[in-house]
Amino acid sequence: MISELASQEKVIGVKQSRKAIREGRAKRVYLACDADPAITEPVAASCAEAGIPVETDYTLSQLGQACRISVGASVVAVLSA
């Protein structure tokens, strides 16, 4: 599943991801399992309200590498086509 982050359209970060969730553009959200819960829990709650599947199996560094960025990513939203 994490391989879709390299090829599909996505947004990285809390603010952009929450905006995509709010606007109904997110189809799946990845939350880093080792990120601060104060950051990820509100995003997870937004996803639950919107019925968007959430993946929490990956670390900050794994998500960052999958997105081809040099830093960790706590939240990544894959966008609908």
With pLDDT > 70 as the criterion, what percentage of the chain qualifies?
Answer: 99
What φ, ψ does residue 2 adopt, rounded to 5°? -65, -20
pLDDT recorded at residue 81: 73
Q: What is the pLDDT of residue 17?
A: 96
> What is the structure's pLDDT at 60?
96
CA 72, 12, 79: angle at the middle one, nearest 5? 140
Q: Over the chain, what is the mean pLDDT?
A: 94
The CATH number covering residue 35 comes to: 3.30.1330.30
- Measured at the CA of 43, the angle between CA 60 and CA 16, to 5 degrees, comes to 75
Strand partners, 55: 30
DSSP-H helix ranges across the chain: 4-7, 14-22, 37-50, 60-66
Q: What's the pLDDT at 3? A: 80
Enter the pTM of the model. Answer: 0.93
Full domain range(s) for residue 65: 4-79
Among residues 44, 53, 50, the alpha carbon closest in space to that of 75 is found at 44
Task: Count the domains in the chain.
Answer: 1
